[in-house]
């Protein structure tokens, strides 16, 4: 869609980039769960929320932001600093801002056609949550 104009995508409203990034991350997680286990749609939904809730995405963002290139860091800062009209009742404000910033980066990568970079980030994000769960099970 915008692959030829990265600057145009960089300057989209952070909430618009996050809107796209949210969909990309949700689809990635849902597909990952369906491929890895047989379960009811209800159980898959419960499992998916562990990855996509604001607290988890905030955790992912904090760990991954050190790996962002200049453009990704720019999009991330804009997403983190964007004004939020509503914040989910189960999320704290800071987590929500970091989650929005993470989703904005995913949206940016998707809209600019940077599929290899996007795939790397999606895999890394899922691994962060899965590794956290594995560590918590062993404690």
- Residues belonging to the active site: 22
Region for residue 113 given its phi and psi (left: phi exceeds 0; alpha: psi -120 to 50; beta: otherwise): left
Question: With contact defined as beta carbons under 8 Å apart, do 99 and 61 qualify?
Answer: yes
**Helices of type H across 1-139:** 6-10, 14-36, 41-52, 54-64, 70-81, 93-111, 115-138
Question: With contact defined as beta carbons under 8 Å apart, do 82 and 14 qualify?
Answer: yes
């Amino acid at each position: 869609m915008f692959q030829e104009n990265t600057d145009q995508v960089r300057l989209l409203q952070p909430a618009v980039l996050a809107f796209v990034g949210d969909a990309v991350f949700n689809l990635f997680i849902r597909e990952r769960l369906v491929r890895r286990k047989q379960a009811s749609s209800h159980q898959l939904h419960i499992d998916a929320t562990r990855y996509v809730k604001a607290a988890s995405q905030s955790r992912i963002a904090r760990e991954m932001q050190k790996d962002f290139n200049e453009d990704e860091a720019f999009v991330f800062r804009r997403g983190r600093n964007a004004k939020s009209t509503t914040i989910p009742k189960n999320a704290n404000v800071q987590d929500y801002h970091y989650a929005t910033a993470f989703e904005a980066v995913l949206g940016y990568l998707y809209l600019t056609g940077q599929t290899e970079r996007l795939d790397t980030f999606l895999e890394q994000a899922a691994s962060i949550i899965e590794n956290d769960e594995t560590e918590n099970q062993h404690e």
